[in-house]
Structure 1
Amino acid sequence: MILTGLLCGALLGFVMQRGRFCLTGGFRDMYIAKDNRMFYALLIAIAVQSIGVYSLIQLGLIEFSTGAFPWVATIVGSFIFGIGIVFAGGCATGTWYRAGEGLIGSWIALFGYMAMSAIMKSGPLTPLNQSLQSVQLPKNSIAESTGLSVWVFISIFAAIVLWIFIRELRKPKVVIPTMKPKRRGLAHLLFEKRWHPFFTAMIVGLIAILAWPLSEATGRMSGLGITTPSANILQYLVTGDQKILNWGVFLVLGILLGSFIAAKGSREFRFRMPDTKTGISSFIGGNLMGFGASLAGGCSIGNGLVMTAMMTWQGWVSLLFIILGTWTASYFVFVRTNVKKKSLNSGTSITTV
């Protein structure tokens, strides 16, 4: 049964690679390019998962407990994680699937992410992690906090997402010139045709639903998750403890495998070595991701996709601060850097306040 994690991860990695489902680029583009499409795609995936998972809960097929809300750790960790994904060039899941494309910079970021996650969860920084996470509010569920049924919030959220979906599809389409298809039929659809982000999001949402019963069948009472399984891989390599090899570990390894298959099939796989500056940035970003995600109790998937779908304070507060962290880093890495370059090229001076 544990091998179902490998299958689920392979599906997720394949879909994310082919659909270019990159939340780092999506959050960054909201600020720099004023392009919200990837953020809207994330909302679609959240809505699909929320409806599906709570339907499974209501049918008694899976169990879920929201627990308490570690608000300080969530805010601080999510903001740091948002900064980290900009330096790393991809979020936790994005780093896994980009590594499957042969991007060496993503492998560097991935090592930093795994190492720092392990240090936070079972190493010298564990006391700090536990101390900040101990500052909690008793109720994490938005429904329990308000006394309303969770379906009220799911219905309102789904209605808003449906309105956004219809509005975006009604906008005039920008025709992008494409080369004549070299393949036909299923091969063209899977490996050559450009995937719409909303279509990709719906499949991601369905995979996220599937992850719950598959994971719980092995005793892991959760859905998609990236940070803890990533730390578990390094912990296993160091300790050799086979108990660490759970469903989640096979999930993240499956993402790597699925992305590799997609990249090879679409002829996008190739080893790309970063320059020194990019390599250092990737490693720093990976460490910031591992620190922030461990502290916040989840990454852009664990909190931003799963805990938001479960209608928890942790999920939505985390998503907000991940975005704010991404925007903050984007300002210093992209906006301010470009301003300095333009000023130097024009011969004008920069006055800092």
Structure 2
Amino acid sequence: MILTGLVVGALLGIVMQRGRFCVTGMLRDIFLQRSWRTFTALMVVIAVHGVGIAALTSAGVISPEYEGFAPVAVVVGSLMFGLGIVLAGGCASGTWYRAAEGLVGSWIALAMYAVSSAAMKKGALGGFTTWMKQWDTGLTTVPAALGVSPWVFAILVLVVAGLMVRHFLLKERRIAKPATPSNRPRWKRPLHFYTAGALIGLIGVVAWPLSAATGRNDGLGITTPSSNIVKFVVTGDGGSIDWGVMLVLGLFVGAFVAAKASGEFRVRVPDARTATRSVAGGIMMGVGASLAGGCTVGNGMVQTGLFTFQGWVSLVFIALGVGLGARLWLRPTTSPRVSRGATGATGTDGVTTSTAASGSEDGTYSTSESLDNTLTVASDGRSIDPAPIGSGSVGSEPLGVATGRAGTTSGSAVFGGFAAVPDAVGIKEKTQASSTLRELGNGYYALDSLGAVCPFPLIDAKDVMTTLDSGDHLVIDFDCTQATEAIPHWAAEDGHEITDFREKGDASWQITLRKA
């Protein structure tokens, strides 16, 4: 029976990966985009979950148990978790499925998340967790406190979610339909946010009785299962391997299969800054989720569906943490100034490369700067497009940046489906760093966002677009799967024309925008 967790997890991983379903991005959009469009998908999950759990409880199929609401632990932990997921680049479930897409930064965050949550739950920091939770109000669910049926709230949330979905679907119809890669088969295209939300809600409803049948009286969960994996690895305690552990392992397997089948898997090594943020973010996630009693799944989906004080208060403060983290750390990585006119040096092979010294004063670099995957411009004004990842060249032009010597290039080494980043540990000389924005001539500009984790491809694109003239073209290369939906939708909303959008290789895309 425990293997049903693996099946449910695999289905969850497939849906999350194909739906680009990340609660971090949904909450982040409220603050960065001033939009509740993607957050509506989370409301769909809560609504489906709420109705399903109410039905199962009323029928006597499940009997949920409730912890008392400990406000200090929930508020502090949720704020910390919200800050952590901004640094890590994804929430708990999002980190699991992004790790399955090949993002090494997510592997790092996942390891730190699992270790820190294990320390907080049953390890050296367990005493601190108990101390933080000592201020227990005794409150459990909102319906119980008000003396009303859970069905009142289930139906209310369902109506609110339905109205939100209707509003944003009607709004989408009034704008130009966001483009999809022209050379991508229909079956490889991602699920709509709201479809993914409904499916995740249904999976959550099915998960509860299957989990309860094995003695684990709970539904979807990420934090405790992740900590149990660490406990098993360290102690060998077979009792740690429960239905929840099977769930998260299945999530990883399902997401990997979905990413591999759709051509969205490629191992991507982070630069020093991204790796450092992943470490810090993962630790904050583990500590925060343990204090709050759950992550964006445990609290943001399950406890909200149970209409507990813990779930809804936690969701609010996770959102506030995300908003604060976005304000502190999510800023454009490119210079807002576009150099008009050709700059750079021409090598003996006739290729002009526009370079500029960049990097922060402390000697660290953004992901895109460390990758140094530069577009080049031929002496006759034509642009040389980088090869699809893994191909090594385009025609007779080598992949990389001409240095002035025939046949000599620099840039990311690519081999066997792996994008390796030389100097990714921060040893690159400042004078070698390249600006990610290039002028290609004839009103075309290239923005290299390969290696940049979401939401930076969108943040940089929006920032650069403000510096261009109407009619100018911006060619963006990126390998963040979430940006395949975020960039086209932003372009459609702002009225920019998408003149080309294509898949360049495994987990690599290029989109060309014409400024309105």
Specify if TM > 0.5: yes
- 1:258-303 C-alpha deviation (Å, 9 max, x unpaired): 1000000100000000001110110110000000000100000000
Residue pairs, 1:152-231, within 5 angstroms: 152-171=152-171, 172-180=174-182, 183=185, 188-189=186-187, 192-231=188-227
For 2:52, the aligned partner's letter is G
Which protein has the bigger helix share?
1
* Match of residue 330 from structure 1: 326
* Match of residue 243 from structure 2: 247
CA separation in 1, counterparts of 2:38 and 2:184? 28
CA separation in 2, counterparts of 1:130 and 1:209? 30
* Match of residue 120 from structure 2: 120
1:300 equivalent among 296, 302, 322: 296
Identity %: 46
CA separation in 1, counterparts of 2:40 and 2:18? 18
1:274 equivalent among 255, 259, 270: 270
- 1:92-124 C-alpha deviation (Å, 9 max, x unpaired): 000000000011000000010001001101111
CA separation in 1, counterparts of 2:72 and 2:284? 17
CA separation in 2, counterparts of 1:99 and 1:65? 32
CA separation in 1, counterparts of 2:312 and 2:184? 43
* Match of residue 349 from structure 1: none
Give the deviation of 1:163 after TM superposition: 1.2
Runs (4+) of structure 1 moved beyond 3 Å? 179-183, 340-343
Residue pairs, 1:280-319, within 5 angstroms: 280-319=276-315
> Do the aligned residues in 2 keep the contact of 1:226 with 1:301 (CA within 8 Å)?
yes
> Do the aligned residues in 2 keep the contact of 1:117 with 1:227 (CA within 8 Å)?
yes
Helix, strand or coil for the counterpart of 2:267? coil
Aligned length: 336
CA separation in 1, counterparts of 2:13 and 2:70? 30
Question: Compared with structure 1, are the counterparts of its residues 341 and 321 closer, same or farther at alpha carbon in structure 2 (3 Å cutoff)?
Answer: farther
> Do the aligned residues in 1 keep the contact of 2:74 with 2:310 (CA within 8 Å)?
yes
- 1:157-196 C-alpha deviation (Å, 9 max, x unpaired): 211111111122212243123344654xxxx43xx12321
Question: Compared with structure 1, are the counterparts of its residues 173 and 48 closer, same or farther at alpha carbon in structure 2 (3 Å cutoff)?
Answer: farther
* Match of residue 36 from structure 1: 36
CA separation in 1, counterparts of 2:180 and 2:315? 35
- 1:74-101 C-alpha deviation (Å, 9 max, x unpaired): 1110000000000001000000000000
Question: Compared with structure 1, are the counterparts of its residues 175 and 311 closer, same or farther at alpha carbon in structure 2 (3 Å cutoff)?
Answer: same
* Match of residue 147 from structure 1: 147
* Match of residue 350 from structure 1: none
Helix, strand or coil for the counterpart of 1:124? coil
Question: Compared with structure 1, are the counterparts of its residues 173 and 196 closer, same or farther at alpha carbon in structure 2 (3 Å cutoff)?
Answer: farther
* Match of residue 25 from structure 1: 25
Give the deviation of 1:330 after TM superposition: 0.6
Helix, strand or coil for the counterpart of 1:37? coil
Question: Compared with structure 1, are the counterparts of its residues 68 and 195 closer, same or farther at alpha carbon in structure 2 (3 Å cutoff)?
Answer: same
CA separation in 1, counterparts of 2:132 and 2:278? 26
CA separation in 1, counterparts of 2:179 and 2:221? 37
CA separation in 2, counterparts of 1:48 and 1:181? 35
Structure 1, 83-92 or 28-37: larger mean CA deviation = 28-37
CA separation in 2, counterparts of 1:286 and 1:215? 27
Give the deviation of 1:342 after TM superposition: 6.1
Give the deviation of 1:319 after TM superposition: 0.1
Residue pairs, 1:32-181, within 5 angstroms: 32-171=32-171, 172-180=174-182
- 1:122-180 C-alpha deviation (Å, 9 max, x unpaired): 11111110111121111211011111111111122211111111122212243123344
Unpaired stretches in structure 2, ≥5 consecutive residues: 340-516
* Match of residue 348 from structure 1: none
Give the deviation of 1:67 after TM superposition: 3.0
> Do the aligned residues in 2 keep the contact of 1:21 with 1:38 (CA within 8 Å)?
no
- 1:35-81 C-alpha deviation (Å, 9 max, x unpaired): 22221100011000110111011111111122311111111100000
CA separation in 2, counterparts of 1:33 and 1:165? 18
For 1:317, the aligned partner's letter is V
> Do the aligned residues in 1 keep the contact of 2:4 with 2:210 (CA within 8 Å)?
yes
TM-score of the superposition, structure 2-length normalised?
0.63
CA separation in 2, counterparts of 1:98 and 1:179? 21
Helix, strand or coil for the counterpart of 1:138? coil
CA separation in 2, counterparts of 1:217 and 1:235? 23
> Do the aligned residues in 1 keep the contact of 2:10 with 2:252 (CA within 8 Å)?
yes
Question: Compared with structure 1, are the counterparts of its residues 45 and 342 closer, same or farther at alpha carbon in structure 2 (3 Å cutoff)?
Answer: same
> Do the aligned residues in 2 keep the contact of 1:37 with 1:197 (CA within 8 Å)?
no
Structure with the larger RCO, 1 or 2 (CA within 8 Å, 6+ apart): 1
CA separation in 2, counterparts of 1:126 and 1:271? 35
> Do the aligned residues in 2 keep the contact of 1:88 with 1:106 (CA within 8 Å)?
yes
- 1:188-237 C-alpha deviation (Å, 9 max, x unpaired): 43xx1232100110001001101101100100000000000000001100
* Match of residue 16 from structure 1: 16
